[in-house]
Amino acid sequence: SRTVTRDADGALTVAGIGVRELAETFGTPAYVLDEADFRARCRAWREAFGAGADVFYAGKAFLSRAVVRWLADEGLNVDVCSGGELATALAGGMPPERIALHGNNKSVAEITRAVEAGVGRIVLDSFQEIERVAAAARRHGTRQRVQIRVTVGVEAHTHEFIATAHEDQKFGLALADGTAAEAVRRVLRHRDDLELVGIHSHIGSQIFDMAGFEVSARRVVGLLTAVRDEHGIELPEVDLGGGLGIAYTAEDDPSEPHEIGKSLSEIVAKECDAAGLAVPRLSVEPGRAIVGPGAFTLYEVGTVKPLTGLRTYVSVDGGMSDNIRTALYDADYSVVLASRSSAAPPMLARVVGKHCESGDIVVRDAYLPADVAPGDLLAVPATGAYCRSMASNYNHTPRPPVIAVAEGRAREIVRRETEDDLLRLDVG
């Protein structure tokens, strides 16, 4: 986060508030989200692409009503991929025309709600869905704007479980074997109910190498050309998806939004020029790159257990229930002693949670001062994306709150769950 410093006692402060005060007021564990950082990234992404493009924030990274209001303020759109995300986007006041609905298996109820709400786009992901969305639009008496999600056959350089553009995966309609072209034909048969505005491609997550996007853009423009040649129409929009990487540790070196914007815009323009196509309106869907860097998780140390000849296990009061990414993707995080400074020498530590499972690791290997002790606060940076949104109640653990900090003030934008919340669903 951009506004994190240390105060005179060596404690971390964010947006002018010390972490000890945050822990006293809100308890731990807690996600602490720097509103100014979030908004600055929104603006950087918008400016990077300019007025000729749209930035859709990927709500799956983290969504709440407050965040939706920030997005609406900053001129971003939002992409949702479930009825719950759609409901949150609408409840936060996002104008429906600035919402896109994704998903490989949207229910008829979700589709119907989206059509009735008047969402700006539905991204079609299967032949069945073409018929379902057309039927919903017909029932509602509207013409729904749609894009077709294609798989371009790009393997993004990232963890296998989060790469989404292999041909052998569930999303999209394949370009290579003509499935995508057939989808275009089928959508165009529903001209009264569907308005085909563009092609969508998402190639993966936590990507640093822009080469994958170049190939993706080239192939998508190839489809636009084929559509023009076959149907005599030029589709006005191209969405290149999200997946732009962020720095989880000092080894990660992400590009700045303006570099990414420049390179993607240039590639699309160049390919369109070569094909004799008008340059379509570009959109992108960063989630992690907007909400990830500006948040950290604040934990309290409970136990410290040195293992002879190995490392010291430092247990915190959360774990895999508030950050599943280490266990699920082998993700790397860093950690710092947040509540004070220390002159003690570094020791090799593993930060683990409180769950009944040995894979419950937050930070696999990290150096912490050797005097780390129960009661100390630790901060794990870059937990704004896919931590609260993928949190679980494993071991009947209430999920932590999200605390927004701005200009010396802190407030819960998602409150801490209570044991009553957990029991509320039990029947009998």
Could you list the residues that contact ligand LLP (CB under 6 A)? 58, 60-61, 79, 102, 162, 164, 202, 205-206, 241-244, 285-289, 325, 385-386
CA 4 to CA 255: how far, in whole Å? 21
Shortest reach from residue 61's CB to ligand LLP, in Å: 5
Peptide bond into 95 cis (omega under 30): no
Residues contacting 310, CB < 8 A, separation 6+ = none
Least distance (Å) from ligand LLP to the CB of residue 346? 28
DSSP structure class, residue 141: T
Q: Is 350 annotated as a binding residue?
A: no
407 labelled binding-site residue: no
Amino acid at 78: V
In the complex, minimum distance from the CB of residue 301 to ligand LLP, in angstroms, rounded to a whole number: 25
287 annotated ligand-binding residue:
yes
191 is in an annotated binding site: no
Closest to ligand LLP by CB, 3 vs 206, is 206
| Cβ neighbours for 203, distance < 8 A, ≥ 6 positions apart | 152, 154, 156, 163, 164, 165, 212, 213, 216, 241, 243
Using a 10 angstrom Cβ sphere, with 0-12 exposed, 13-18 middle and 19 or more buried, the burial of residue 223 is buried
345 is in an annotated binding site: no
Please say which residue, 156 or 403, places its beta carbon nearer to ligand LLP: 156
Q: Which is nearer to ligand LLP, 223 or 244 (CB)?
A: 244
272 labelled catalytic = no
CB of 207 to ligand LLP, least distance (A): 8
Q: At what angle do helices 179-188 and 127-140 cross, to 10 degrees?
A: 20
**Catalytic position from the list 42, 81, 272, 356:** 356
Among 382, 401, 388, 88, smallest CA distance to 249 is for: 382
Pairing mode, strands 237-239 and 194-200: parallel
Closer residue to ligand LLP in complex, CB, 41/132: 41
* Binding annotation: 243, 285-288, 325, 329, 357, 386
* Binding annotation for substrate: 288, 325, 329, 357, 386
* Binding annotation for pyridoxal 5'-phosphate: 243, 285-288, 386
Catalytic residues: 356
